[in-house]
Structure 1
């Protein structure tokens, strides 16, 4: 069997506590042809020293030391660099731990997807994760169950516009998707979400229900795992303006996606994106009708209850809040 070269791209920032353990899990993959490209985003701790030590013993690791530009821009640079010599790329965080079969299983799914859709189709592979504590002790065997998420919603545009269910640390992409998605625009909320949207619209999203990454939870997580339920709903309802702002950010992301691809989008996808862009406009009954007719639903009753409140009263509450502060 032929094993084409695969790149794993890692963006680090002050990751000294877990980076050695993470890189070790990459080096222990059972896929035989892997290169690792690490870009440090201006760490002020010992991350760079640790990476340099690891590289001396592992020549297939390439290190790039840059100024602090943020995680999205850092992955933009990494993906651009990786596609020069690689047709397949994995995204990796600095503090998780990969299961040894992660690359080979994802590669198998990529092969199947390209056989069906062609190598020129933008393809994204993603999987479930197990949630672990700082010592890698399991908190939950499924991140999706823990968060009450449906990983298959990554292939449904009306769901993905509203809620990202693709975790960057699980992603494998092909070169066609990278070329379609870069550069990440300022409106992209996160790089993994933008990649998923482009794969959903122009290619294929493949969901692996098996956890292939141990998703470490600790105090410094950029985006962590938090159980979904009534408590989370009450917290959100206490700050409806913030929830409405986040919804507005997803709309801005969708509108940018439309602007960049209007000439090649199908009429059905154009209608879905246009309808989503109108969710915060007009009379509340119009907003409610758009929501229901297009099934712009999140996963879980509690999340949709919060969204319903925003659509019915969120605009008015936002106005009232601003008036009271003047």
Structure 2
């Protein structure tokens, strides 16, 4: 069996759960025979993260790389790791989850059935758990009230991501299209699935292949707020939503700029930063701009009514 998978595990002060995560990867079916390298990329941890990795390096697959690019944050740290990879297939891992034993095999089986000559990406559902791995929900999609086929519409996917990097496997053909990750990309995983959707194939595995741990330090988690909480904290939640919305709009704009694709040209959202107030409201009423649930729809409407788009030239790098 050919070792043709690299796993990129991004860390930052991850001592609490890191060893458990690495052990869950090592215990996966297919790890011994399919995985070439487990590439740990660290964003400048000041705790025992490095010591934990060094202790586990009796496994010769495990590598330690300190991110000294000067570009901080999860998106940039994962991009640093992606440039280190050499394998035909790549998987991403957070530092605080637990992989199910079939995560590698099931992902590999699905991506192997797709055309290898063009970009391909598969991703799965995930079980939402608390710090102690007690189940909160058997399905992230059910927990968030999201349709499992949301990603099949580029118009929907460009406005709201449903795929987590920690559930993905993708091929080198996709990496060659996606790198460098645009500065205006909201997150690395969203950028990867958007590029895959535009240039190749995306497939969803409709079962949870990881246990997605929720705790106080998640960068982007599965938090779900009640209506009463949102009403009591209306202003800060709206400010956060609005900031993210215009960042997502910038990502859509730069995606359309890099990939001259007919389907992108026809999506109104890619132009929302350049149109006026009335046109934006018209897009909302027509459904050209939308969120996947009622809370999101309300926040979106308030954003369009109460905030201004951040106009200006979108920074972009040409594909290398």
Same fold by TM-score, threshold 0.5 exceeded? yes
Report the CA distance between 1:243 and its aligned residue: 2.6
Tell me how far apart the structure 2 counterparts of residues 202 and 89 of structure 1 sit (CA, whole Å). Answer: 17
Tell me how far apart the structure 1 counterparts of residues 194 and 130 of structure 2 sit (CA, whole Å). Answer: 30
What is the CA deviation profile of residues 176-218 of structure 1, one whole-angstrom value per residue up to 9, with x for unaligned ones?
Answer: 1111101112101100010011011111111112011001111
Q: Does the aligned pair in 2 maintain the 1:13–1:41 contact within 8 Å? A: yes
Report the CA distance between 1:235 and its aligned residue: 6.0
Q: Does the aligned pair in 1 maintain the 2:250–2:273 contact within 8 Å? A: no
Q: Which runs of 5+ in 2 are unaligned?
A: 311-320
What is the CA deviation profile of residues 39-74 of structure 1, one whole-angstrom value per residue up to 9, with x for unaligned ones?
Answer: 12111001001100000x201112212336322121
| Alignment correspondent of 2:318 | none
Report the CA distance between 1:4 and its aligned residue: 4.5
Report the CA distance between 1:288 and its aligned residue: 2.9
SS in 1 for 2:220: coil
Tell me how far apart the structure 1 counterparts of residues 264 and 292 of structure 2 sit (CA, whole Å). Answer: 21
Distance 1:149 1:279, change over 3 A: farther
Tell me how far apart the structure 2 counterparts of residues 270 and 253 of structure 1 sit (CA, whole Å). Answer: 14
Question: Which is richer in helix?
Answer: 1
Q: Does the aligned pair in 2 maintain the 1:158–1:294 contact within 8 Å? A: no
| Alignment correspondent of 1:29 | 28
SS in 2 for 1:131: strand
Tell me how far apart the structure 2 counterparts of residues 9 and 38 of structure 1 sit (CA, whole Å). Answer: 6
Q: Map residues 41-52 of structure 1 onto 2, 5 A cutoff.
A: 41-52=43-54
Q: Does the aligned pair in 2 maintain the 1:22–1:94 contact within 8 Å? A: yes
Tell me how far apart the structure 2 counterparts of residues 303 and 161 of structure 1 sit (CA, whole Å). Answer: 15
| Alignment correspondent of 2:292 | 299
Q: Does the aligned pair in 2 maintain the 1:147–1:225 contact within 8 Å? A: yes
Task: Return 68-77 or 171-180, whichever deviates more.
Answer: 68-77
SS in 1 for 2:163: coil
Tell me how far apart the structure 2 counterparts of residues 283 and 33 of structure 1 sit (CA, whole Å). Answer: 53
Q: Does the aligned pair in 2 maintain the 1:129–1:215 contact within 8 Å? A: yes
| Alignment correspondent of 1:323 | none
Q: Does the aligned pair in 2 maintain the 1:233–1:303 contact within 8 Å? A: no
| Alignment correspondent of 1:88 | 89
Task: Return 24-33 or 224-233, whichever deviates more.
Answer: 224-233
Alpha-carbon RMSD across the aligned residues, in angstroms, is 2.2
What is the CA deviation profile of residues 5-28 of structure 1, one whole-angstrom value per residue up to 9, with x for unaligned ones?
Answer: 211110111001111000001101
SS in 2 for 1:207: strand
| Alignment correspondent of 1:6 | 5
Tell me how far apart the structure 1 counterparts of residues 66 and 244 of structure 2 sit (CA, whole Å). Answer: 32
SS in 2 for 1:37: strand
| Alignment correspondent of 2:317 | none
> Number of residue pairs matched?
304
TM-score, length basis structure 2: 0.88
Q: Map residues 101-250 of structure 1 onto 2, 5 A cutoff.
A: 101-112=102-113, 114=114, 118-231=115-228, 233-234=230-231, 237-239=234-236, 240-250=238-248
| Alignment correspondent of 1:271 | 266
Distance 1:309 1:97, change over 3 A: same
Q: Which runs of 5+ in 1 are unaligned?
A: 319-326
